[in-house]
Structures are given as C-alpha cells and as structure tokens.
Structure 1
Amino acid sequence: MLGSADFARAFTLTTFAALVGSHLIERVSGVVTLRAAVAGLCVLALGILWARREEISLVRLVPTTLLLLVAWAFASVFWSSDPLTSLGRWTAMAAVALLAVTVGHIRDTLQTVRALGDVLRTALALSLALEILSGILLDVPFRFLGIQGNIAALGPIQGIFGTRNMLGFIAVVAMITFAVEMRTQSVRPGTAAASLTLAAALGLLSASPTVLVLAVVVGTATAALTVVRAVPPQRRGAVQWMLAAAVAAASVVGYVQRAQILDALGATDDLSMRTRLWSLAGFYISRRPVQGWGWFGPWEAAEQPFFTINLVLGQHHTTALNAYAEVLLQLGWAGLLLLCAFGGVALVRSWITASQRRSIVYAWTPLMLVTLAVTSVFESVVLFGVGWMLLCLCAVRAGQSRSWRNRLVGDPPSGAFPLPG
C-alpha cells in the first residue's frame, strides 16, 4: 500500500493541505493537533521511502546544500540560549524538509502541480467564503482566525492564512500553479479560468504591497524565460548571460531607489517599522556574526534575543520580516551563505532545465523559486511551514534534472522524469 500510486497521491494532497492550512488547523484545533498531523505524515513518509527503496537512489535523495543547511541549523542548537526549545524547532524544520523530499521523489512535476493546485483552490475558496461570512453576512470579525471582516471595504483581507501578506504570497503561488495547469491542460478551461480569477481577486483584496512587487517580478521572469525558450540553442548561453547582467543591474537600481518604490506602493510607514526592527536585529547580529544565536524558527516571547528586541520596540514580532536577516540573526553568515547556495543552485538548475525542455510544466520550479526569493525580502515565510516546504521541494525537483551526482549513478530511475523533454 505504501508504494502504490494512489497512496502517493493521497499523501501529497494531505501534506500540502496540512502545511497550507497550518494557521487554520492551529487556531481551530490547537498546535498539538498540527504537530501530531505533521509527525504522522513524517512516519508515513519514512514508510513510503522504505517501500520504494529500490526505485529511489540514496545518492540523489537529498540535495547536498539542503543537508548542509539543516546540519548547520542542528549545530546551532548547542550554542543557543535555550537548547531544548531550539532542538524542538529544528525537529520541525527537518520534518517539513522530509515531507518535501518524499513528495519530490514519489510525484513528478505535473502531479505535484495538480495536487498543489487542488489544495490551493480549496484554501482560497474557503478564505473567500469566510471573509464574505465575516464581513458581509454577519459583519463580525473572526478574531480567532485573524479575519478582520474588511471585504466589504475591499480589504485588506487575511483569509485562513492569518495575515494579508501571507494571503498575498499564497495568491501569487496559486496564480503560477493555476497558469501552469491551464497551459498543460491539466484541468478544464473553465476551472483554470475561475481559479486564476479567484487567486487574482484575493491577491488584490489582500492589499499587500508585496503582491504588486511579486506580480511584476514573476511576470518579468516569465517573459524572460519565454524569450530564452524561443532562442536557438546555439545562442541560448549568450542570452542567459545578458539576462543575468540585466537582473544584477535591476537589483542595484531597485536597492538604490527603494525609498521611492516603497513610497509609490504606499508602504513608507511599513518600511519605517521594518527599518527599526532590522537595525535592532543588526545589533545582535554583530555580537555573533558567524554562528548566530541558534535556530528557533518563529519567535516566541521568552526566547533571547527576540524577547529583548520586541521589548525595546514595544511591539510583538514573530519574525524578522526578512528571511535573509532572519538567517543572519539565527544562523549567522555561515547560515546565510548556505541558504543562498541552496536557493541559488536550485534556481540555476531549474532555470536551465526549463529553458531546454519542451513542456511548460518545467517552468513551475524556477518561477516558484523566484517568488520565494523576492518574498524573502519582505517576509521570513521561506524558512517555515509551507514556504520552507516549497523551497525544499523545488530544490529536490531541480536536483533530479541536473546534478553532479547523476554521473555517479548513471541514468535516473525510469519513473523519475515521465514527461518528455
């Protein structure tokens, strides 16, 4: 049973549902229920990997950069201010990575996209229903879910995800997924159009400043990938280098003009708050620049230095609101270099694969990685929960197509890449 295709599909759907709906599960049933669900899925994941041990290569099982990043996070437990709590948070990090690795090996890219699309359709539809119930039918905020009931005023809304920024992130992920479904004709045209409309509408109603930035960047990346795919193979390398130079130049311009961009987005006040937070986080980073303060994941009130940061600011932050600053604070420069290598290698591998393969489904992985990289500038979501799973899953998927380890074990297993190149 553990090795069957039907069980693999059910496991993938359940895993995505548990992580996409983690905020809803925690608020309705408690954190113990969420932890029990993830623990149960990890037991099943180990059973699935064991049942499929003959078709899965151990050498190709986990990306090297993922192993190094998780190992460094484990090492940080020994110098953290609360080793027992830090070990528990590291276990959660490793558990989600295990789920991502399992899904990456038992489902191909199209099957993964279809499963994620089904879960996101349900989550977004439920979010819209609850927002309408709260803001229009009952006119009462659902505070236990974080829903403020502002849909009648056209936002901002939060859905089942707790914050408007998280809803905006999920909406962009959904739009990429639904677009790939539509292009591959995996769902009916009416379903695809309705799904894209739902995701776009909730993204706009979230009123999250990051949604517009993500939409522009992902749209630009999509156009660039389309151009690269259309270029003859002999000229593709030169075009890739030109795009890399353009991205570097755009990044510099964006950093220099960040104040004007944020002012145009109406996020100046938000930037002021974030600047104070990052400045204080930088003070603690300078105290332990290489190794950081230990891995804790989302902040809790009693943990140091997070307790002092919130106390000085007079606010209650659960993250550094920037994945790169978060890693610097918790894992130091060593952790940041490992994270950048982890995501960067996966992006390069997946981008090259998508530019060479005929099927549009291969574009899902690099576009998802671009979304995660840009979101990391505004939120720490890529380090926890569904964001961390998507990062690990994309890295596994990229490593299956292009990896130095392929030369050690020969051709990939027959079921690894079922789609034509």
Structure 2
Amino acid sequence: MAATRRTLVPVAVTEFLGSARFNSALSLVAVGVGFSTHAIRALIGWPGLIGALGVVVVLAALSFVAQRKLIEWHGLLPISILLFVGWCAVSIFWSTYQWATLAGVIYQLSFAFLAVYIALVRDAIQIVRVVGDVLRVLLTASLALEVLSGILLDLPIRFLGIQGNIALGGPIQGLFGSRNALSIVALIAFVTFLVELRTRSVRAPLAAVSISLAVLCLLFAHSPVIAAVAVVVGLATLALFGLRKVPAHQRPYYQWGLAVFTIAALVSAYIYRTRVIDLLNARADFQVRYKLWIQIWELIPVEQTVGWGWVGSWPTELYPFTAIQAATGVYHSDGLNAYLDVYLQVGIIGLLLFVALVALAFGRSWLLASNKRSVVYAWAPLVLVALLVTSVFESSILVEAGWLLLVICGVKASQGMSWRLRLARHDQS
C-alpha cells in the first residue's frame, strides 16, 4: 500500500504539470510577467521581479520534464537564436563588467526559455489568445489607473510613473512607465485583437471593445514614434492580405516586387527623414535620440568587433553608460535604438547575428502568413513589423516582453519552415 502511494503522487503531479490547463495558465502568467515588468518593479522592486520570474521559469522547466515524451525536440530552436544568445553569453569573457553581463545573460535566457515553452506547448491561435487576454487586462487597468489619477484624484501616481494627464487629453503612460512603451503595447494589442476578430476566437462584441481599448490607449499616449510605426504596420497589413488573395503561382513575383518597393521606400524615408520628422511633429523627441545616438556612435569604435559586453538594459553605475549619461545629461535605460544598442554591447559580430535572427524570423513568418489559409498566421509577421520598426527608436525588442515575443515568433516560424525538420522527416522516410 505504501509503495502504491509513493508511485501515485509523482504520476498525479506529472499529469498535472503536463496538462493542457496547466500549460494555458502558466503561459498566461509568463506573458503577464513579461508585459508587467515595470509595474512589478515599481511595486516590489527588482528582488520581487526576479523572484516571480524565477518561479515561472522553474514551473516551465518542470512542465517541460512532464511532457518530454510529447515534444518534438529535433530542430527545437532556430540556429539564429542560439548563435545570438550564445554570443551574448560568451561576451562575459571580455566584458569590462562581468557580473553585470552574467546577470544580463541570465535575465535574457530566462525570457527566452519562457518564450520557447510557450511556443512549444501552445499552437498559433492559443498564443494569440494568451497575448490578447493579458493585454486586455493590462490596458484596461492602465486606463482605469489613468482615470483614477487624472480625473478622480487629480494626483500623479509617481511610483508607477503615471502623470495623470488624461483629463488634458494625454500623454498617458499606464502601467508601462512611458508613453512610448504604452503605445507599442497598445499597437501589438491592436494587431492581436484584430486577428482574434478575424479568426472568431473571441466573440465579436469583446473583440470590438478590445480594439476600441487599444485605439484609445494609442490616441491618449500621443507618441509620435508609434504614429510612424502604426502607419507602417497598417501598410504591411494591407500588403499581406493583398498577397493572400494573389494566385499561388503568381505570388513569388508579387513578393519580390513588394521587397523592391519596401527597400525603395526605406531609402526615400532616410533621404527625406527631416521632412518625415516634421510631418510627425517629432523634432524635439528626435533631438533627444539623436544626441544619445551620437554618444553611442563615439564609443562603438573602442570595442567595435566584440563590443563592451552584454547587459540588456543599461546599468546606472557602470562605464561606458555613465559616460553617455554625463554627456547627454539624461539617464537612459537603453540606447533608444536596438541595432545601435546591440552594436555597442556585442559588436559588429553580435549585430550581424541579431540582424540574421530578425530577418529569418520575419521572412519565415511572412511567407507562412502569405501561403497559409488561416488568418492566425498573420499575427506573427505583423507583430514583428511593429517590433522591428519600433527598434529604430526604442530597444524594447532586446529585453522582457519585446524579446519574449521575438523568440516566440522566431520559434513558431521555424517550426513551420525549418530545414532541419524537413531533413529529419526525409531521413525517417
């Protein structure tokens, strides 16, 4: 009888950790932590955030073990993700701030691990639902707190970074610390809610309210940066759904034509960047960024090949970040440009690996969305468009929720178009 009890407990625990309900709940918690890092730090500090993240990672690892026989492990991760993360980890050996690099790598790996877990235990429509459910709650809470601060109390909520400007029409920050952070989350939410509506994964009234919620947050945030990103995402959405209606045998020609047009548009935007900035009324915002970018560009040649060492978000007390802060007179938690940020931290090699990562993730996602019948495949490339264009003005794609979404999209795209999986199937046949 005692032996029977000893065997029954592990079996019950294993079944629970590997159950669909546990997978769903843990995925919600993981995405929620990823998008709530600013609020968690504001409430319980870095120790609280690290503790919460650690618990979620341990539970995901146990769930992985419980489902180890059900998961397809061959070609599990895209090589591009492995190479970039590996290079960031190796930078510990030449970093001038090794303990900070070690902490940054562990933090990066934690969110990457959770992203892999979500990508493997949830299918595409379930991932859209998870992200949609989390962002519905966070955006609703953000607006509620803005109303409480700006209308009911008429006082800022300083520890959350909420200034209480909603009665003046904005800008608002919500639970995300800044108007730009709120705006990118609201834009990702808008894409997610739209896909939910098109796939009928939620009821139409809920989808309509959710879309209205995302639009309200975008309008009240008043972010000139995200205004430009929203235009690009809108154009990408039209192009993608246009491609899906083109006959399959003609689609490659349209894809190449779209690629050429996109390159020409990017070159034109760069040539006429001053007019674009004036059109968006973003000159003051751009000047802050430009001053920061100049300082970063001056430090890059010192360690151009391998970089200063990976940290993710910038520490306040370490060189060269203290020198940048002294030169600009403003504290920045990142480089406000993901590509320059990567170049500074892990050099030209790291930058090339990062570009390869995002190019493969986006290219595979775009091709899947163009060729698959289900609308749910459109979610990943449109989210990646939002993240990649925002990366010119923010570094959010490198840490926390942005990094989590990038890895999720990269893994799901690799599952759909991995040469290693096709090779394995060919060997088995």
The alignment's TM-score, normalised by the length of structure 1, stands at 0.96
Q: Which amino acid aligns with 2:19?
A: S
Worse-superposed segment, 166-175 or 303-312: 303-312
Structure 1 residue identity aligned to 2:89: F
Q: Which residue of 2 aligns with 1:100?
A: 115
TM-fit CA distance, 1:59: 2.4
- Give the corresponding residue for 2:142: 127
**Superposition pairs of residues 92-241 of structure 1, within 5 angstroms:** 92-241=107-256
**C-alpha displacement of 1:215:** 1.4
Q: Please state whether the residue corresponding to 1:62 is helix, strand or coil.
A: coil
Taking the aligned partners of 1:57 and 1:187, their CA distance within structure 2 comes to 29
- 1:8-407 to 2 correspondences below 5 Å: 8-407=23-422
Q: Distance in 1 between matches of 2:131 and 2:87?
A: 30
CA deviations over 1:366-395 (Å, ceiling 9, x no partner): 111111110100100000010000000000
Equivalent residues of 2:182, 2:221 under 8 A apart:
yes
1:253 offset after TM fit, Å?
Answer: 0.5
The corresponding residue for 1:414 is none
Aligned residue type for 1:202: C
Q: Is the 8 A contact 2:228 2:280 kept in 1?
A: no
Taking the aligned partners of 2:101 and 2:385, their CA distance within structure 1 comes to 29
CA distance in 2, matches of 1:402, 1:38: 31
1:212 is displaced (CA, Å) by: 1.3
Distance 1:183 1:313 in 2: 46
Gaps of 5+ in 1: 412-421
Which residue of the partner structure matches residue 418 of structure 1?
Answer: none
- Deviation sequence 1:321-345 (CA, Å, 0-9, x none): 0000100110111111111100100
- Is structure 2 residue 424 aligned with structure 1 residue 409? yes
Equivalent pairs counted in the alignment come to 411
Counterpart Cα distance in 1 of 2:77 and 2:17: 20
**3-state SS in 2 of match to 1:291:** coil
Q: Deviations 1:286-326 (Å, cap 9, x if unpaired)?
A: 11111010001111111110011101221111111000010
Deviates more, 1:374-383 or 1:80-89: 80-89
Shift of 1:110: 0.3
- How far off is 1:272 after superposition? 1.5
| Contact residue 74 and residue 87 of structure 1 kept, 8 A | yes
Measured in 2, the distance between the counterparts of 1:78 and 1:130 equals 45
Letter in 2 for 1:33: G
Whole-Å separation in 2 of the counterparts to 1:315 and 1:233: 52
What 5-or-longer segments of structure 2 have no aligned partner? 1-15
Which deviates the most, 262-271 or 113-122?
262-271
SS in 2 for 1:61: coil
TM-score by length of 2: 0.95
More helix by share: 2
Quick one: distance in 1 between partners of 2:378 and 2:303? 39
1:62-121 residue CA offsets vs partner (Å, 9 max, x unmatched): 111110001000111111111012101110001100000000000001001001101100
CA distance in 1, matches of 2:200, 2:402: 26
What is the CA deviation profile of residues 105-138 of structure 1, one whole-angstrom value per residue up to 9, with x for unaligned ones?
0000100100110110000000000000000000
Looking at structure 1, the residues matched to 104 and 396 of structure 2 have their Cα atoms a distance apart, in angstroms, of 15
Shift in Å at residue 211 of structure 1? 2.1
